[in-house]
Amino acid sequence: MNGLKLNIRFKGPFSLIAADPPWPFGDKLPGASRGAEKNYKVMTTLDIEHYLASEHIAVADDALLLLWRVSAMQQEALDVARAWGFVVKSELVWEKLTLKGKAWFGMGRYVRASHETCLIGARGKAAALVEDHSIRSVFSAPVGEHSEKPDAFYEIAERLFPGPRLELFARKKRKNWTQRGDELK
């Protein structure tokens, strides 16, 4: 299982999958903690594409994928969604804030990133299962640890789509989710 810890609540098939893959940036940024590879183990895009099959993860015929992508790897994220059997239909944008509520001033080669994008992929008749049609495509929340997603994202996911829910590459245990991640606490 690639050394990933498992927090099992349900064995599948899963109708909601949230994933923040350990994308392989390849950047050689200065400093002790700048860049993904200095904070966690990364995977190749091909390994991420094969992850569901290699881990024998059962996905429901009608399912939703919430896949976090990085700006520099848009095509790779589309390829992963397709490899996992999903068609990208929309996106959710996290406007990053400081703890004082100001716009986050992130890194970037072209522009300074103050947001992250989560692709929304569908399989089968997923649109018919959406539970809350009032969710907006942009939400604001403070940043946490490196690559940590805010609690507001999980609240949106739970309002949006029924379970059973699976979070891949998880870091923090969550109630009503099955989770896999080598940093799961």
**Mean of per-residue pLDDT scores for the chain:** 88
Q: Which two tokens stand for residue 42?
A: 């990364």
* pLDDT for the residue numbered 19: 97
Q: Is the peptide bond before 164 cis (omega within 30 degrees of 0)?
A: yes
The residues that bridge with 123 in the sheet, in sequence order, are 63
**153-185, pLDDT tens digit by residue?**
999 999 999 889 999 999 889 999 999 988 787
* pLDDT for the residue numbered 1: 41
Q: Which two tokens stand for residue 107?
A: 């890194």
> Hey, what domains does the chain have and what are their CATH numbers?
5-181 (3.40.50)
Strands, DSSP E only, in the chain? 5-7, 14-19, 59-69, 87-97, 115-123, 138-142, 165-168, 178-181
**12-69, pLDDT tens digit by residue?**
799 999 999 998 876 665 555 555 554 568 899 999 999 999 888 999 999 999 999 9
